[in-house]
Amino acid sequence: MRCEEVTDYLRTLCGVSIPGDDLGYLHGDGSADCTGVACLWMATTAALDRCCREKLNLVVVHEALLQGFQASRWYPDPPADAKAVNRTKIERLDRGRLNVFRVHSAWDNAPDGHGVPDACAAALGWTQLHAASEFCRVWRIEPTRLGWLAEQVGQAMARDLGHGPIRTRPRLFGDPRRMIERVGLAIGGFGGNQLHMPYHLAEMGAETIITGDLVEEFAIVAAELGLGVIGTLHSWTEEFAVAGQARLLREHFAGLRVMHWRTGVESFAPGPIADDAANA
């Protein structure tokens, strides 16, 4: 089968993407025969090296493939094609004849529980939806102290990332003794690049927010609105949906080799980083 047959199927599972999002084939065109699929949160250089070794020539990626140009008055930013990491990635892509297909916001918003906020909530065992918007959710949980909720999230991170609880402990902002019943999810980078998000989730009824990337301004605004914040990792909130994507492809394409492994910042830390259980 050709790579484009796999990506055509993925398109049937996707939700509505954000206008202007850089989606589709970022490298290659999908016309090559598919030798295997890697479903990755980010196509790091190490991940592309592994794709070449494993002969997986279709890379379905969530985050941007290359680091783009950022116009800044604080420092001179080189063009995208002059950045060292980008040049190294392109060399790997060309050497492995890899096809890279990006889904990003279209997978964030995937229906039927496949999207990022729903997959993250399912991994935490939350089933009672309180409110929903296109990319955000507020879930109702059993009344829990904020500090214990942060501890539960930390335990989940330690389990999922394969590291001890100290390294993966989330950041907590708010009174740990406060009782919480409604939790909002600000997936991925929403805690760093969407500074109105605390208002949005508060309007949806959230009493605290679990987020991935977190900037201090977000936590301050949340505190002023009376919300607690539990800061995790951008990748951790989204990897559940990427792993689910790989499972869906395995189920649909019998015999096709489909792999998923974690590629967030924790994958650079010393210690065991386990592949998705299905690949063990």
The verdict on 65 and 45 lying in the same domain is yes
CATH label of the domain that carries residue 188: 3.40.1390.30
Phi, psi of 53 (to 5 degrees): -65, -40
Q: How many domains does the chain have?
A: 2
pLDDT at 277: 44
| Domain end marker among 217, 232, 247 | 232
Which residues are 61's β-sheet partners? 40, 102
pLDDT value at 272 more than 80: no
pLDDT at 52: 96
The owner of tokens 């939350």 is: 126
Instruction: Give the domain range for residue 210.
Output: 116-232
The verdict on 18 and 62 lying in the same domain is yes
Q: What integer best gives the mean pLDDT of the chain?
A: 92
The verdict on 196 and 260 lying in the same domain is no
Q: What is the mean pLDDT of residues 170-182?
A: 96
C-alpha dihedral, 141 to 144 to 145 to 148, nearest 10°: -90
pLDDT value at 144 more than 70: yes
- Helix (H) / strand (E) element for 217: namely helix 216-224
Q: What is the mean pLDDT of residues 158-181?
A: 81
The verdict on 102 and 163 lying in the same domain is no
Per the CB < 8 A criterion, the answer to whether 30 and 59 are in contact is no
pLDDT value at 275 more than 60: no
The verdict on 187 and 138 lying in the same domain is yes
* Residue bearing the bigger pLDDT, 213 or 278: 213
Q: What is the mean pLDDT of residues 11-37?
A: 95
Q: Tell me the pLDDT band of 279, cut-offs 50, 70 and 90.
A: very low
Tokens of 160: 């999922």
The verdict on 205 and 173 lying in the same domain is yes
The verdict on 34 and 104 lying in the same domain is yes
Which residues are 39's β-sheet partners? 60, 260
pLDDT value at 164 more than 90: no
The verdict on 97 and 122 lying in the same domain is no
Q: Distance between CA 25 and CA 50 in Å, rounded?
A: 20
Q: What is the mean pLDDT of residues 118-132?
A: 95
The verdict on 53 and 136 lying in the same domain is no
Q: What is the mean pLDDT of residues 186-210?
A: 96
pLDDT value at 156 more than 80: yes
pLDDT value at 278 more than 50: no
Q: What is the mean pLDDT of residues 179-207?
A: 96
- Hey, is 238 helix, strand or coil? helix
* Residue bearing the bigger pLDDT, 49 or 271: 49
Residue pLDDT, tens place only, 34-46: 999 999 999 999 9
Of the listed ranges 70-79, 80-89, 127-136, the least confidently predicted one is 70-79
pLDDT value at 158 more than 90: no
Q: What is the mean pLDDT of residues 249-273?
A: 86
Closest Cα to residue 50, out of 275, 233, 243? 275
The verdict on 127 and 202 lying in the same domain is yes
pLDDT value at 223 more than 90: yes
pLDDT at 271: 57
Residue type at position 114: H
Q: Tell me the pLDDT band of 270, cut-offs 50, 70 and 90.
A: low
The verdict on 159 and 215 lying in the same domain is yes
Q: Tell me the pLDDT band of 167, cut-offs 50, 70 and 90.
A: low
Calculate Rg over the CA atoms of the chain. Answer: 19
pLDDT at 168: 65
The verdict on 224 and 152 lying in the same domain is yes
Q: Tell me the pLDDT band of 12, cut-offs 50, 70 and 90.
A: very high
pLDDT value at 87 more than 50: yes
pLDDT at 162: 64
